[in-house]
Amino acid sequence: MSIRPVISSTGLHTPTESISNAELVESFNAYVAAHNAEHAAAIAAGERPALEPSSVEFIEKASGIKARHVVDKAGVLDPAVMRPRNLERPNEELAILAEIGVTASRDALARAGRDPGDVDAVLCACSNLQRPYPAVAVEIQDALGIEGFGFDMNVACSSATFGIQTAADYIRAGNARSVLVVSPEITSGHLNWRDRDSHFIFGDVATAVLVEAADMAPASHWDILGTKLKTVFSNNIRNNFGFLNRTDPEHRDDPDKLFIQEGRKVFKEVVPMVAAMILAEMERLNLPQGSMRRIWLHQANTNMNRLIAQRVYGHEASEDESPTVLDTYANTSSAGSVIAFHKHSDDLSAGDNGLICSFGAGYSAGCVFVRKVG
């Protein structure tokens, strides 16, 4: 019989600084006013459109987001800068992406009572890697004192669930017994803070999930009942930043080299795809509708989550059935469903079933069905 993989623990790192919608909109509207003043003649001549201001009411209604944590609040809010600054460090120092990944990992290891020496592998699974190589996962591995191996993987907002399945497969195959899946997300570096349609969407955070062989897991853990991954190519969420593309400093704020999306299309196409995938997988695993005590969905948007949860439950889901962390964290890409799981799972009882589910660019979607033990 193959070795059974379980989730032993999770960890979280939340940056201390946070930006409210009011602060964000004030900075954005100052940028709009300055831009429109600078181009007043061209706007009056009809040669270019005036930029429109953003609004707190729109952001809350369209997304459910009220605030977001960031690694550099002053840089993001300065209308002349509008991006995080000074994140590059000398090669001798721990890179910031590794640093926040290490903090989340230490939290997960402590919660499982696990010594880093017992961990075999580190997967850094996230949307926005800081560099091509050496892998950030290897830097995290080194900082934690883990032997074995590590590598980076990117499936955008679905990276964590793809990482959990990868870790579970290593354990089933006997290639590792304890694997850290780390998702450090500095989304503020790829968000176009000057784009009215999307400037409010993202926040920074790091999560870690410790996936282990059942026979070494702590008494209280989560059985992995099944996992399912899916990808379908789409250009509706895209970021062209990369070193074969034009990324010299003069062009680093090109909208094309930052996050862009067709939000309405994403909404319309991803909701049915994810709901159908969850229901099909529940059927395959003999989990009838009503058998899910809680679902921890990707945190993109409250309206999207409400619709998906409604299809999974067959009724309007309560905050208890489908908790959100969007109000304080915003969309944190691959980390979102793990934050929801981390913050809203302690109260479940042994035998309760749940689902960690992600979706996003690619398109990509991942399901991890779990059952509480102990």
Active site residues: 157
- Give the CA distances from residue 201 to residues 59, 60, 73, 194, 204, in Å, rounded to whole numbers and listed in that order: 9, 11, 15, 12, 11
What's the closest the beta carbon of residue 274 comes to ligand COA, in angstroms? 11
Least Cα distance to 190 among 250, 266, 254 occurs for 254
- Say if residues 222 and 372 touch (Cβ distance below 8 Å): yes
Distance, in Å, from the CA atom of 63 to the CA atom of 46, rounded to the nearest integer, reads 33
Q: Which is nearer to ligand COA, 32 or 102 (CB)?
A: 32
Q: Does residue 55 belong to the site contacting ligand COA (CB under 6 A)?
A: yes
**Taking contact as CB under 6 A, which single stretch among the options 10-18, 79-87, 167-175, 296-304 is the one that binds ligand COA?**
296-304
**Strand (E) positions, 14-148?**
18-20, 67-69, 121-125
- For strands 353-360 and 294-297, give the pairing: parallel
- For strands 121-125 and 237-238, give the pairing: unpaired
**Taking contact as CB under 6 A, which single stretch among the options 103-111, 170-178, 196-204, 238-246 is the one that binds ligand COA?**
196-204
**DSSP secondary structure code for residue 317 in this structure:** P
Q: Which is nearer to ligand COA, 59 or 338 (CB)?
A: 59
Q: Does residue 306 belong to the site contacting ligand COA (CB under 6 A)?
A: no
What's the closest the beta carbon of residue 276 comes to ligand COA, in angstroms? 17
What's the closest the beta carbon of residue 324 comes to ligand COA, in angstroms? 13
Quick one: which of 360, 368, 369, 370 contacts ligand COA (CB under 6 A)?
A: 360
Question: Burial code of 160-196, b = ≥16 C-beta within 10 A, e = fewer?
Answer: bbbbbbbbbbbbeeeebbbbbbbbbbbbbbbbbbbbb
What's the closest the beta carbon of residue 77 comes to ligand COA, in angstroms? 16
Quick one: which of 62, 214, 216, 348 contacts ligand COA (CB under 6 A)?
A: 62
Reduced to 3 states, what is the DSSP secondary structure of residue 255? helix
Distance, in Å, from the CA atom of 295 to the CA atom of 321, rounded to the nearest integer, reads 6
Query: By CB neighbour count within 10 A (0-12 exposed, 13-18 middle, 19+ buried), where does 360 fall?
Result: buried
Q: Which single residue brings its beta carbon nearest to ligand COA?
A: 263
**Taking contact as CB under 6 A, which single stretch among the options 30-38, 54-62, 101-109, 313-321 is the one that binds ligand COA?**
54-62
Q: Which is nearer to ligand COA, 222 or 329 (CB)?
A: 329
Q: Which is nearer to ligand COA, 8 or 63 (CB)?
A: 63
Name the site residues for ligand COA (rule: CB under 6 A). Answer: 54-55, 58-59, 62-63, 157, 196-197, 201, 237, 261, 263-264, 266-267, 300-301, 304, 331, 360
